Structure 1
Amino acid sequence: MPLTHFLQQLFHHSRVTVEAEGDIALDDPQLWALLEQHDLAWRQQLPRDLPPLDQTSALFGAMAIYRSAQVLVFRDTPVAGLQQSLHGPELAGAREQFSVDLCLRFLPDLVRLARARSHDDPLVRCLLDLGSCWPLSSVGIAGVELNELGKTRVTALAENPGVWQLYLDRVLQTGDESRLADPRVRLAARRAVGAFPQLAGKLSKSLEEPKEVPAA
């Protein structure tokens, strides 16, 4: 199956091939087995106490990254069709967002490749819109502004300590200052670095406590 083959390549060496057409069978047992297998391996590099994988959400993430790659490779594929296929679940808690991220964490790489072709490419705008809805997977992508749904989902990330830590780690690692506009994220990032502001890298200045100005 094209999607299963694509994911095998993506997970193992990130050099992928896509097909212009072909039916995608989301009920393929090999597809779900592959996602579960990679989930187990991926968790070894992540914080502890993460939620179990949600099948529907993980499959959506896989489809989103595959369909986006199709449009990137086959330039005659209309972006409008991609936009219609990227409507994921409206309600997404920490578990669902973590499950989507299993594949959608490659979104920054996809945006980079699309921008290399043209910053004005409609695909770039489509991918940025996708990122604005999925805060965990879009950390570090320049030009992403979380929409109201995305901001609500940041709140949901805190439902699980492991997922929240993963989100904070990415904000600090990428130096994504835009995410510090959320007071909860800023406070949590400050607490994470504690007395070692150098751990914040590019964000060290942004995380400094405001200094009080003596009254005249």
Structure 2
Amino acid sequence: MTLEEFLRALFTTGQATVVGQLDPFTPADLHQATLLLQEAYAEDKLHLPHTAPPFSAEAALWAAQVLYRAVQLTLLRDLDDTAVRASLTHYPNPINPAVVYSADLTLRYLPDLLHLAKGLAPADVLVTRLRELAQHWPFSFGGPEPAAPQQLEPVLGHPALRAAYADRIIEARNLVRAQQAETAILIREALGHYAAELWPEFN
């Protein structure tokens, strides 16, 4: 299954299949995947409060490849640490709002994969690598840990991402993230006068 086919199935059915070997993606496949990601961005941004950040093809394509490889690595349990780290690379350029939102088109699926990987082998290098990614992408990964303030800067500095991040925290009832100094005021603003009724634990 190509990356483009993987993404199309993921976006339309929520399910996807990967091949059983770490073959390189072809230029034609990467091109088609980029076009599909741009379509997904155009649809997804309609549901954002405020104006979405611009599309970053580079970030979207990087994240899509990371997700594809992470699914493969969850299934291929016999690969060594070097193969895992080579397949799940960190984003190579500065992270800004466009990068955060474009990468989130597929990174939002990684928390479920991390949960699955932890159940299969909690001490595995794949779990460690996914946790490292989670620390760098707090908009896409909720998690029980506080988000690093420096990683939150591109999120909280953009109106659409800031509002969407608050909504995600409230929906997940993530009290750890909600009570961080950087985000607590956002949660209070989002809940308004109904905080006690909507989220008594936070209030």
TM-score of the two chains, using structure 1 as the length reference = 0.83
Quick check: 10-19 or 85-94, which moved more?
85-94
CA distance, structure 1, for counterparts of residue 52 and residue 197 of structure 2? 23
CA distance, structure 2, for counterparts of residue 109 and residue 157 of structure 1? 21
**Partner residue in 2 for 1:88:** 91
**Partner residue in 2 for 1:21:** 22
Maintained 8 Å contact 1:173/1:200 = no
CA distance, structure 1, for counterparts of residue 52 and residue 2 of structure 2? 29
Maintained 8 Å contact 2:84/2:125 = no
Counterparts in 2 of 1:198 and 1:17: CA distance versus 1, 3 Å: farther
CA distance, structure 2, for counterparts of residue 163 and residue 120 of structure 1? 33
**Partner residue in 2 for 1:33:** 35
**Partner residue in 2 for 1:205:** 201
1:99-118, aligned counterparts within 5 Å? 99-118=102-121
* Partner amino acid, structure 1, of 2:111: P
Residue 44 of structure 1: how far off its partner (Å): 2.9
Gaps of 5+ in 1: 209-216
Please state whether the residue corresponding to 2:183 is helix, strand or coil: helix
1:64-75, aligned counterparts within 5 Å? 64-75=66-77
Residue 99 of structure 1: how far off its partner (Å): 0.8
Maintained 8 Å contact 1:61/1:104 = yes
Please state whether the residue corresponding to 1:184 is helix, strand or coil: coil
**Partner residue in 1 for 2:123:** 120
Does 2:129 correspond to 1:131? no
Quick check: 29-38 or 43-52, which moved more?
43-52
TM-superposition CA deviations, 1:100-159 (whole Å, max 9, x none): 1011010111112212323333322221111011110101x24x454xxx4212122122
TM-superposition CA deviations, 1:24-55 (whole Å, max 9, x none): 13563311111111112222333231112101
TM-score of the two chains, using structure 2 as the length reference = 0.88
RMSD: 2.0
Query: When the two structures are aligned, how many residues end up with a matched partner?
Result: 200
Residue 198 of structure 1: how far off its partner (Å): 4.8
1:137-156, aligned counterparts within 5 Å? 137-139=140-142, 141-142=143-144, 144=145, 146=147, 150-156=148-154
In our comparison, the structure showing a higher alpha carbon Rg is 1
- Percent identical among aligned pairs is 26
Quick check: 27-36 or 157-166, which moved more?
27-36
